[in-house]
Structure 1
């Protein structure tokens, strides 16, 4: 082919290609092919209380195909997911997941905190302006009124003109109330004591629905007052420490922290129902109630997307008593895996496989038992509160002539009496700094920050970034303490949480279902990213205080 023929052929090919492109464009209508939103019939948000990320990897080989493995293998796994604030505790955790922001904005700075206006300690969900529904006790005097912003559940309700339904469920009241948001159709939690009932608040309803009363009288709760034995042969639990050790707590009546746990109060079917919370059957009871809610509330049956927010609280109670390296915590997660499989089977049947979207995360993680770490020659230890208080009181008396200059200590923060400081002709900034310098001399303290620093600086990484995200200008204290890694204020058995250290911030984040890609990432994601990711999936407004950003890799 000569040069002229080559040019002719090239020109002909270009013309044909252009014609095809024009014809293709003529056939595509404006907006066609553009996906604005995904419309699952139901979104299910799952929070596992006190779940570390490494539970997924440690126990993976023991999991069934239908629970955690189904979410990991068929969904999207954010392997480097973290809380970007402290304190890492249940109230702030649940709120941050659902609001897409941190305590600096949503205002839930702890489970409890000192309220500077009322001069008293308050609980994150308490509200005496409402009455209990389902019990004569005060267990139902609750509402989300201390949460300053909207949740993803609120925004879905608003987007659907309140047609989309939100139901929130947890053993812990705050584990249901805060995720449910301000507009939930219902939030239910478990009241133990000698009643053993699922209850609610008059904030949501005047009386319990018939299906809840039927569940409460069905004998299901009583059936879980039984011996706690291992799901599998305990000798196969090689991923955990020995069953009999000095790092675990005891049930009343026990002499060793070993399986089976079958004390008389665990077996008594007429009282002590709070004990169910501290064994894995509390999660199974939560799942039983959740499955009843799916069916009786008709979730996911119409074109308006509904939202089911469920939190599994027993994992936290078990972790606190036995620690993260215990046979008990392993057995609890293997049983939770089976309960998750039950949930997904129910959703497949009632809503339809491929018609719902799920995310699973935690409200915080946890530290290994410091006594155990210390025995393994890892730096760790405990804060001696009595010695610390005595030393600090002497400092206050010597420096200011009174201990009353400090009004409260909670959530690793000191609250100062600003009136006394003013009456002593002192500058608040200088008092904060003087107290901070004093605490830097205490062996268990790693670093200290002042309220003034939180106000004046914009931290973007590290511990100060985490503290600032947890610092609410109206509600937080004047001096913020950070203890050394591996050190806690807690009894010498069991695990706890609350710090800005990585063992408390690294938590799982799994997405699964409609609109979710299959895959994983090791790029850092943060808890406030969850709500805007779900909002982007649904094509609805972000919660009003959102500071997180959508995780683009997750969405199809």
Structure 2
């Protein structure tokens, strides 16, 4: 067993990982042979939907030769290395919302992680995508978690509507991942908050989560030394100055008493998988009268990418750990004798921090100009037009890109002037690729055809909801990181652009006995839900999905036949 796992994870997780590694190394359960077993008859009894947060197609391609665990197993199935989160708002909430609804954000209503509702009676106008802002206890930073803003059902919702015996379970480090993959009718929902897994308001924590939280508490209280790195990570071990510090050489020592130290590390994925396995046992998933769905969103790749970038020692260690954590999940399901099918994809991709990109053949990589902040743009517009919003801001936005909203304190005529001035300022800025008004996007038909060929306007249209989107949508240019000032260890790199490093994600499907294949043609994450619905024989009304069914059998069989 690699010292990476033996020395630094809590004992129950170590034992599970050892079992996974042993199973992968032996006979018919090895990643290279398990897909050769005879295919079971009938639909699978459990759908396992795995999202790896910020797992770009680029990361998948870069580390693919190194995978020996769960990802190596999934590579033997139906592999679509060039899947697309087709829309422009490549953030966690919109991306997760596409995976199991089969619709674009323009239709699901999940246009961003946050948007602004200037008509809401509450003092805070920012709305978090996974909150119920009608609850007085909710705020965008401390939400009462809910899927109330998701306008469409998820696969789990559809399965429960067809047969209430189906169980819909979702677990992640992030509440928004749980709600966007699980949806409105979730039997068990857990996410990580301040050192423990928590659930929806008004629900009790189950014994499985209690046991997992006890293990986490002991680990956080004690702390743990740095993780050992695989030898093949040596080339990534180089310090790069950024902000007031440096990144590139980290190995994830766990500071005692610091829950965030666990969150921003591979240990977060290990804990998420451990809880998922406990929930499989507790609820006896895949053994009931109807098919179940288990959604597992693994967030550590995103946390590590934000805190340290995507090309240092930190991400190399994370990729090795991710592969083994997924193997732990699959091996646990094997041991229980469950007939399951797996899909793995991502909510979005990501780009490394500009400081390292400029050293690696991308000299145009820069951080966003502070003059693109909503505060700075509002002041510039006031200086140009003489229009102000009294004591409040003239513009509302969540950063230097995305949706911008004009204050309701100005008259309709003044609003038109503000919108015109904002578009003019944005389009003349060298860091802006495009700026569209809500009126322009509303008149643009929903895009179709290959997502790689969509224009920037098409991509913005796929994220546009006339009731939630801003008065102006600003898209930053390629390789512009929307973090004006980096904070090493917290926020040095990000995603959210309309470009393919953020839009392209892998899509892997696997079921024991199903003949695998590789298809490089562009597909979309909205194709996942209709493909899984067909696999389990779930009939849905025509028009339920924006995506199409993908035939997941590389042989003469057709897994889409059930939808015909």
Assess same fold via TM > 0.5: yes
In 1, Cα distance between the equivalents of 2:443 and 2:480? 29
Match of 1:457 in 2: 444
Match of 2:29 in 1: none
In 1, Cα distance between the equivalents of 2:415 and 2:143? 43
Please report how far the alpha carbon of residue 407 of structure 1 lies from its aligned counterpart in structure 2 after TM superposition: 3.5
| 1:523-542, Cα deviation, whole Å (9 max, x unpaired) | 11011111111112222244
| 1:288-337, Cα deviation, whole Å (9 max, x unpaired) | 11111111111011231011001001111100011111111111010111
- After superposition, the Cα gap between the structure-2 partners of 1:219 and 1:108, relative to the gap in structure 1 and judged at 3 Å, is closer
Match of 2:289 in 1: 303
Say which SS state the counterpart of residue 509 (structure 1) adopts.
Answer: strand
Which deviates further from its counterpart, 534-543 or 108-117? 534-543
Match of 1:475 in 2: 468
Match of 2:240 in 1: 245
In 2, Cα distance between the equivalents of 1:391 and 1:174? 30
Match of 1:127 in 2: 132
Of the three residues 505, 527, 530, the one matched with 2:528 is 530
Question: Is structure 2 residue 269 aligned with structure 1 residue 283?
Answer: yes
Structure-2-length-normalised TM-score = 0.81
Question: Is structure 2 residue 209 aligned with structure 1 residue 212?
Answer: yes
Contact 2:111 2:468 in 1 (8 A): yes
Contact 2:378 2:395 in 1 (8 A): no
- After superposition, the Cα gap between the structure-2 partners of 1:391 and 1:156, relative to the gap in structure 1 and judged at 3 Å, is closer
Contact 1:155 1:541 in 2 (8 A): no
Which deviates further from its counterpart, 181-190 or 370-379? 370-379
Structure 2: any 5+ residue segments left out of the alignment? Answer: 1-40, 448-453, 560-564
Provide the aligned length of Structure 1 versus Structure 2. Answer: 490
Contact 2:52 2:344 in 1 (8 A): yes
Question: Is structure 2 residue 187 aligned with structure 1 residue 197?
Answer: no
In 1, Cα distance between the equivalents of 2:415 and 2:142? 43
Of the three residues 237, 246, 255, the one matched with 1:267 is 255
Match of 2:317 in 1: 331
Match of 1:381 in 2: 366
Structure-1-length-normalised TM-score = 0.82
Match of 2:397 in 1: 409
- After superposition, the Cα gap between the structure-2 partners of 1:407 and 1:545, relative to the gap in structure 1 and judged at 3 Å, is farther
In 1, Cα distance between the equivalents of 2:422 and 2:53? 34
Contact 1:88 1:504 in 2 (8 A): yes
In 1, Cα distance between the equivalents of 2:547 and 2:218? 39
Match of 2:172 in 1: 170
Say which SS state the counterpart of residue 148 (structure 1) adopts.
Answer: coil
In 2, Cα distance between the equivalents of 1:125 and 1:387? 27
Please report how far the alpha carbon of residue 57 of structure 1 lies from its aligned counterpart in structure 2 after TM superposition: 2.4
Say which SS state the counterpart of residue 467 (structure 2) adopts.
Answer: coil
In 2, Cα distance between the equivalents of 1:128 and 1:459? 29
Please report how far the alpha carbon of residue 501 of structure 1 lies from its aligned counterpart in structure 2 after TM superposition: 0.8
Contact 2:99 2:529 in 1 (8 A): yes
In 1, Cα distance between the equivalents of 2:377 and 2:142? 39
Of the three residues 143, 146, 152, the one matched with 2:146 is 143
Contact 1:249 1:321 in 2 (8 A): no
In 1, Cα distance between the equivalents of 2:540 and 2:471? 32
Say which SS state the counterpart of residue 552 (structure 1) adopts.
Answer: coil
Contact 2:236 2:248 in 1 (8 A): no
In 1, Cα distance between the equivalents of 2:551 and 2:115? 36
In 1, Cα distance between the equivalents of 2:135 and 2:94? 22
- After superposition, the Cα gap between the structure-2 partners of 1:220 and 1:296, relative to the gap in structure 1 and judged at 3 Å, is farther
Please report how far the alpha carbon of residue 347 of structure 1 lies from its aligned counterpart in structure 2 after TM superposition: 0.9
In 1, Cα distance between the equivalents of 2:415 and 2:281? 61
Please report how far the alpha carbon of residue 84 of structure 1 lies from its aligned counterpart in structure 2 after TM superposition: 1.0
In 2, Cα distance between the equivalents of 1:288 and 1:183? 23
Question: Is structure 2 residue 72 aligned with structure 1 residue 69?
Answer: yes
Contact 2:212 2:274 in 1 (8 A): no
Structure 1: any 5+ residue segments left out of the alignment? Answer: 1-36, 133-137
